[in-house]
Structure formats: structure tokens, C-alpha cells
């Protein structure tokens, strides 16, 4: 049996046509950062820089997702239109480069019926390998009961759900005023989302949804013992220990600190960690670093191979 593919489960692609559609419906502030930092793909098949970075890191496949540029609007028709456009563009890229790319589909949350319809179209017709969603949807936690029907459909399909922070500073004006939205606000959103999923006992209620948490689960692995000791402060009596629930999720490796990866490895096991780069926010030398640091955390050769691709192959069926 040959070596596993090297698979990047956390990579983003921002075609200009999709961002323009988001702006039409009111997300100009959200797309401004992407435009300002020149992370926009001018055409729907403008993937030359993605391929160049993948080749630099010897990465075989990227799983593309729209990051926090999600089509979440109060108006259902706006959300549906933007979600369909984003998924159609991604499907076009995958069709053009089937050996290099796959995709997580977006959905028009908070509109549940429309989102379930788009899940079906994306997975059944477009061949997406999973769904992506924000840690929050229009300010409401993804773990809120309002989204249980959405999770029930994913559970029925035994689907993969890749979560991503929305850049909302976890509701903290202090984080925003200190310009720490992405340095610490994003991993804090990851951590809060993980604990809210535990509070709602989502792994028990929807055991067949394969949830990927980004950035090594934020601060959660570092706080594993503390969370267990304080479980009575934030979990219902029926919930199992946080350290046990944590092993129900998967985690991407976006971090690049070997000791952070080792901490996550000790908390949840190497088989629950998937390689991610956070391209294009991490690109060129940083992209290569996101790959190579996995080898520096003290994992066995077999575990390294699993993190860099084997685990994702099994999870996603690639």
C-alpha cells in the first residue's frame, strides 16, 4: 500500500464574483479584509497561486472552503442566491482539477429548510465532500437549538462539518479595540464553540456528524484539565467530561507551533488531527512551515503520515 495523500483540509478560495455577490447583499465590511490584503481570485478558475503553494509544500489535495465569508443574510433569497453561487464556483474548480481540489459546501443559514435543500444539492449533485459553517450564525451559536434540524440532516447523511470562526471577537469590544480579532479572537471563538457544542451534548445527540474544529480547537487542549475540574460550572449533569467529549471531534493543525500540536496530540490523540494550512492567510514560506512543523512535534512517523493525510483520507473518503 502506498503512502497516504497529503491533504490540506483548511484552505480558502475567494473568487471576486462571489465576494461581489456578498457585498450586494450587505457584507462589505466582511469582504474588505480579503480585498485589502489582495487575497481575491480574479476569475472563477484563478487557482495558479493555490497550486504553486501546494507544490511548494508537496500537498496533493486542498479541501476548499469560504472561511468566514459565509452567505448568512436575514433575507432568505439573498442567502440562497449567494450560497448557490459560491458552491457552483467551487464545483467548477473541482471539476477542472479533480485530483488537486475538493470542497466543503456553504449553506444559506439561518434558513434551515433552504440550507437542508442546499446540503442535498451540494453533496448529491455537486459532489462536495462536506459542509462548512460558522461558529456563529448571525450572532447565534451554531450549537443553538435553532440549528438542531440542520444537524439532524447532517447526522442522517453521516456528513463532515467543518466549522470556522466568524471574526466576531467572541462579542468582546476589548478584543476588537485592541485589534486582536484574528490573533486571539478567532481561536477564542473556536474554544467557545467547542464548549457550547459540549454544553448542548451535540456529540451524543448527533453522533454521526463528523465535526472538524479549526486551529487545534483554539485554547481547549491547553485547558483540558481545568475544563474537567470546572465541568460543573458550565456543563449539565448528564454531560460526560470535556476531555472525553473532546475526542468526539476532529481538529485541523493550523497553528505551526510544534508544542501546541503536541498538546493537542496528548489531549485527543494523533488520529483526530488533520493537516490544515489556512491558505491564503498562510502562504509561501508560511505555507511550507504549516506542513513541516508537523514533523517537529515528536509524533511517530506513522502518526505524522496520518496527520498529513491519512486521517483525512479516512474521514473524507478521498
For the chain, domain boundaries: 7-316
Question: How much is the mean pLDDT over the chain?
Answer: 95
Rounded Cα distance between 198 and 248, Å, is 10
Number of CB atoms found within 10 A of residue 117's CB: 16
Residue tagged 500540536 (cell numbers)? 261
**How many residues in total does the chain contain?**
318
Q: Which has the closest alpha carbon to 270: 251, 293, 245, 244? A: 251
Contact 175, 188 (CB under 8 A): yes
Number of CB atoms found within 10 A of residue 226's CB: 11
Rounded Cα distance between 316 and 123, Å, is 12
264 grid coordinates = 493537542
pTM > 0.85: yes or no:
yes
What is the pLDDT at residue 42?
Answer: 79
Q: Which has the closest alpha carbon to 307: 9, 1, 2? A: 9
Domain made up of 7-316: CATH architecture: Alpha-Beta Barrel (3.20)
What is the pLDDT at residue 33?
Answer: 86
What is the pLDDT at residue 29?
Answer: 64
**How does strand 130-134 pair with strand 273-274?**
unpaired
Q: Each residue of 86-134: pLDDT tens digit?
A: 999 999 999 999 999 999 999 999 999 999 999 999 999 999 999 999 9
> At 116, which helix (H) or strand (E)?
helix 112-120
Per-residue pLDDT of the chain (318 residues; tens, 9 = 90+): 457 899 999 999 999 999 999 999 986 667 988 998 888 887 767 899 999 999 999 999 999 999 899 999 999 999 999 999 999 999 999 999 999 999 999 999 999 999 999 999 999 999 999 999 999 999 999 999 999 999 999 999 999 999 999 988 888 999 989 999 888 989 999 999 999 999 999 999 999 999 999 999 999 999 999 999 999 999 999 989 999 999 999 999 999 999 999 999 999 999 999 999 999 999 999 999 999 999 999 999 999 999 999 999 999 998
Amino acid at each position: 500500500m502506498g503512502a497516504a495523500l497529503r491533504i490540506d483540509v483548511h484552505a480558502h478560495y475567494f473568487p471576486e464574483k462571489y465576494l461581489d455577490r456578498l457585498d450586494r447583499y450587505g457584507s462589505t465590511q466582511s469582504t474588505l479584509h480579503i480585498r485589502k490584503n489582495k487575497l481575491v481570485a480574479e476569475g472563477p478558475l484563478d487557482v495558479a497561486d493555490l497550486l504553486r503553494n501546494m507544490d511548494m509544500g508537496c500537498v496533493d489535495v486542498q479541501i476548499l472552503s469560504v472561511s468566514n465569508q459565509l452567505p448568512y443574510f436575514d433575507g432568505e433569497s439573498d442567502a440562497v442566491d449567494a450560497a448557490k453561487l459560491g458552491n457552483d464556483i467551487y464545483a467548477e474548480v473541482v471539476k477542472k482539477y479533480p485530483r488537486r481540489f475538493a470542497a466543503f459546501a456553504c449553506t444559506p443559514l439561518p434558513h434551515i429548510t433552504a440550507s437542508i435543500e442546499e446540503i442535498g444539492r451540494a453533496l448529491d449533485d455537486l459532489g462536495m465532500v462536506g459542509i462548512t459553517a460558522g461558529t456563529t450564525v448571525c450572532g447565534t451559536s451554531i450549537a443553538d437549538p435553532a440549528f438542531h434540524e440542520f444537524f439532524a440532516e447532517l447526522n442522517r447523511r453521516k456528513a463532515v462539518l467543518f466549522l470556522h470562526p466568524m471574526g466576531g471577537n467572541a462579542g468582546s469590544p476589548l478584543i476588537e479595540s485592541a485589534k486582536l480579532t484574528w490573533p486571539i479572537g478567532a481561536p477564542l471563538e473556536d474554544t467557545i464553540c467547542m464548549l457550547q457544542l459540549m454544553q448542548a451534548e451535540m456529540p451524543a445527540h448527533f453522533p454521526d456528524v463528523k465535526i472538524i474544529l479549526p486551529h487545534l480547537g483554539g485554547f481547549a487542549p491547553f485547558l483540558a484539565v481545568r475544563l474537567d475540574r470546572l465541568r460543573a460550572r458550565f456543563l449539565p449533569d448528564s454531560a460526560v467530561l470535556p476531555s472525553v467529549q473532546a475526542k468526539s471531534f476532529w481538529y485541523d493543525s493550523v497553528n505551526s507551533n510544534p508544542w501546541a500540536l503536541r498538546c493537542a496530540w496528548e489531549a485527543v490523540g494523533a488520529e483526530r488531527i488533520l493537516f490544515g494550512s489556512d491558505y491564503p492567510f498562510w502562504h509561501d514560506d508560511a505555507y511550507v512551515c504549516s506542513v513541516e512543523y508537523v514533523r517537529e512535534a515528536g509524533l511517530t512517523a506513522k502518526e505524522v503520515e496520518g496527520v498529513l493525510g491519512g486521517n483525512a483520507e479516512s474521514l473524507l473518503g478521498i
